[in-house]
Amino acid sequence: MGSFIEVVLGGLMAGVLYSLVALGFVLIYKASGVFNFSQGAMVLLAALAFARFSEVMPMPVAFLLAATMMVALAFAVEWLVLRRLVNQDGIVLFLATFGITYFIEGLGPQLFGDNIYRIDLGMPKEPKIILENMFEGGLLINLEDLIAAVVAGLLVAFLALFFQKTATGRALRAVADDHQAAQSVGIPLNRIWVIVWSVSGFVALVAGMIWGSKLGVQFSLVLIALKAIPVVILGGFTSIPGAIVGGLIIGVGEKIAEVYLGPIIGGGIENWFAYMLALVFLLVRPEGLFGERHIDRV
């Protein structure tokens, strides 16, 4: 029993980390209808910037600088790409974000170098044993993961407040509902896009810092986008709670499969298991767990 709970706990924490990346996807999809494939590249860029800046300056300054850079990126994307592709099909915009991905994947290492860099956030690395009196041997948990989970939770709470309580948040939700209607009541679409891309750049920075301190900042960080995509479709493209719940389901499912199913059918299943899990969920609910139900009319 103890070991099972340990597996589930580990899965939950991994899931929170997936959610962090998935959140970036959802924010942009909600406000502009763009499935932003470059989220992974943005995580890499933000993490690289933070890692290199923090080598020469105190960490808060580095954080601010990296965040500023992500805002600048948001402006550039809006001005150079989105503005010029208004009213195109979703698939064309999707492909355009591939272009952005390639661009950032070249730009990031070119600016900041392509070695492996360390981010040390001063988090405790050694695992801790809790609840020794309840289970034999106690539960082994990783404090670093726990802190990451708390940070992710705070970020989500902050975003939820931002979306629900501020004027900008209301405008964002209006744009998500209906571009044209939002524009007709005087909401500036272009500024809204800059804001969402900035916010998701900020989310990418947080995700990049946490993932970077776990794995080291290196090119393979872009691959976590592929890890987060099943989370997004499972939760629904348009739902922030969906990204969180989806992340938790995928995280736990993946860990359980890895531990109990992996030895039976051979290892290495983590690359596709999340996708298959998401696929099965989608067969039951095609718009994701919390996605908007779509009614087709002729």
Partner 1 sequence: MFYRENGQFKTTYQADQAMLPIAQDRAFMVAVLLVAFVAVPLLADEYLFRAILIPFLILALAALGLNLLVGYCGQISLGTGGFMMVGAYAAYNLALRVPDLNMLVVFILAGLITTVVGMLFGIPSLRIKGLYLAVATLAAQFFLDWLFSRVKWFTHDSSSGSVSAPDLVVFGFKWDAPVEKYLFVLSTVVLFTLIARNLTRSHIGRSWMATRDMDVAAEIIGIRPVYAKLTAFAVSSFFIGIAGALWAFVHLGSWEPLAFDVNRSFSLLFMVIIGGLGSLLGAFLGAAFIVILPLLLNQLPHWLGIPVSTATAAHFESMIFGALIIFFLIVEPHGLARLWAIAKEKLRLWPFPH
Which positions from 27 through 66 interact with partner 1, judged by CB under 8 A?
35
Which positions from 77 through 96 interact with partner 1, judged by CB under 8 A?
80-81, 84-85, 88-92, 94-96
* Dist. CA 82–CA 243, nearest whole Å: 24
**Paired tokens of 146:** 């726990």
Closest CA to 168 of 190, 145, 141, 195: 195
Residue 271 contacts partner 1 per CB under 8 A: yes
Sign of CA dihedral 27, 63, 18, 5: negative
Give the nearer residue to partner 1 in terms of CB position, either 56 or 91: 91
Residue 104 contacts partner 1 per CB under 8 A: yes
Q: How far is the CB of 151 from partner 1 (least distance, A)?
A: 27
Which positions from 182 through 241 interact with partner 1, judged by CB under 8 A?
226, 229-230, 232-233, 237
For the chain, the straight-line distance linking the first and the last C-alpha, in angstroms and rounded, comes to 54
**Residue appearing with tokens 């208004």:** 86
Backbone angles phi, psi at 47, to 5 degrees: -65, -40
Residue 292 contacts partner 1 per CB under 8 A: no
Applying CB under 8 A, the span of 118-126, 198-206, 244-252, 280-288 interacting with partner 1 comes to 280-288
Which residue among 2, 109, 138, 169 contacts partner 1 (CB under 8 A)? 109
Which positions from 146 through 165 interact with partner 1, judged by CB under 8 A?
none
Q: How far is the CB of 18 from partner 1 (least distance, A)?
A: 14
Give the nearer residue to partner 1 in terms of CB position, either 168 or 218: 218
Applying CB under 8 A, the span of 14-22, 133-141, 205-213, 261-269 interacting with partner 1 comes to 261-269
Give the nearer residue to partner 1 in terms of CB position, either 169 or 262: 262
Closest CA to 204 of 17, 11, 79: 17
Q: Where are the alpha helices (DSSP H) in the chain?
A: 2-32, 39-56, 59-80, 90-112, 143-165, 167-177, 179-184, 189-215, 224-235, 240-256, 262-265, 270-284
Helices 2-32 + 39-56 axis angle, to 10: 100
Secondary structure (3-state) at 142:
strand
* Dist. CA 10–CA 146, nearest whole Å: 10
**Paired tokens of 30:** 């909600």
The beta strands (E) that lie in 29-167 are given as 127-130, 139-142
Q: How far is the CB of 93 from partner 1 (least distance, A)?
A: 8
Applying CB under 8 A, the span of 2-10, 50-58, 133-141, 264-272 interacting with partner 1 comes to 264-272
Applying CB under 8 A, the span of 131-139, 140-148, 240-248, 288-296 interacting with partner 1 comes to 288-296
**Residue appearing with tokens 């948990």:** 141
The binding site for partner 1 (CB under 8 A) comprises 35, 80-81, 84-85, 88-92, 94-96, 98-107, 109-110, 114, 226, 229-230, 232-233, 237, 266-269, 271-272, 275-276, 278-279, 282-283, 286-288, 294, 296-298
